[in-house]
Amino acid sequence: MSAVNLLDFDLEGLAAFCEQLGEKRFRATQLFRWIHQKGATDFEQMSDLAKSLRSKLQGVATLTPLTVISEHVSSDGTIKWLFDVGQGNAIESVYIPEDDRATLCVSSQAGCAVGCRFCSTGHQGFSRNLTTGEITAQLWFAEHTLRKRLGTSDRIISNVVMMGMGEPLQNYNALVPALKTMLDDHGYGLSRRRVTVSTSGVVPMIERLMADCPVALAVSLHAPNDPLRDELVPLNKKYPIAELLDTCRAYLSAAPRDFITFEYCMLDGVNDTPEHAQQLIQLVKGKINCKLNLIPFNPFPQSGLRRSDLARVQQFGRELQDAGIVTTVRKTRGDDIDAACGQLAGEVQDRTNARDRMLRQPVAVKISLPKPGERHRSGH
């Protein structure tokens, strides 16, 4: 029987595991603190654990961090790590330091099955879901590695965004225990306001997250109407915009923030015209508390797409702001090391033939806008 990786457990899971060993709950809390607050990997280091428990853990449990393949440091201080997750797959995590926060962008899958047109990860295809331990291990590694480098015992990571490789809500059962570990005061003690799950719109899982572990929510919108979003975010064909917005409104009743963030990747000639801005205003104004985050597209050869020029992005943002919609333009970080939004690609043994499929289906740059009440299906 192989040893259990203790990074796979949130505190409740670790308490259940300790109970199987004949230990009381407070022992699990002690163990949890040693793992996540102190970064210990050797049970013999855990001096306040009973010797009998340390002896029991040997052979039945392990602390298995991810193996680092490479580290790249940007001129702006951003750090990108490539981690080996076995069978030819590698994932990426990104540390983004700022004056008032330090954010870690965490991956949830090796690849992604959603296949958004503008995302480098999507063009790589999908291999598998990460385990809870592999998700948590990204934060564990970053936090304790940076503490050692900076010579401090103070917490480094203040924010976590599930915006790395993969669609988090398509790996729900592994995601939620990882989120609970991030939030737990005996773990990393992060605020629910400072942990964000980004989703392309998996409606049933948004509803479950609202009940199980409501954290900040960011939704990859990227288009103001269904025909265009069908092209850019294929999941829209299953969960169209109206259904998605209804679910987001419901989520606000449990959310730690009083708004939903909508991500909008600015694509030249595709979704960045004044007409698109007006449609976006009509879609959300007075209908949902939200913030629009305009994201400069980070081009890659396979996409066939171009970045909107800065003047176009700024004008688009002004139109939204003039309509009373809170709008920001995301500052590009780490683009000199391919660590910016949409650039995380890692190495994926694709099981979905995504590369060939997406190359055969170039996005249409000019798409006619629907008439009121009309929903057009793209003929892929």
Q: Specify burial of residue 52 (Cβ count, 10 A radius: 0-12, 13-18, 19+).
A: exposed
In angstroms, the CA 200 to CA 117 distance is 12
Tokens of 52: 């009998």
In angstroms, the CA 336 to CA 317 distance is 25
Residue of 18, 119, 213, 341 marked catalytic: 341
Residue of 18, 23, 92, 231 marked catalytic: 92
92 belongs to the catalytic site: yes
Distances (CA, A) of 289 to 199, 204, 248, 271: 17, 21, 9, 22
Question: Which residues, in sequence order, are bridge partners of residue 293?
Answer: 263, 328
N residues, the chain = 380
SS3 275: helix
Rg over CA atoms, the chain: 22
319 belongs to the catalytic site: no
Neighbour tally for 129: CB within 10 Å:
21
Q: Which residues are catalytic?
A: 92, 341
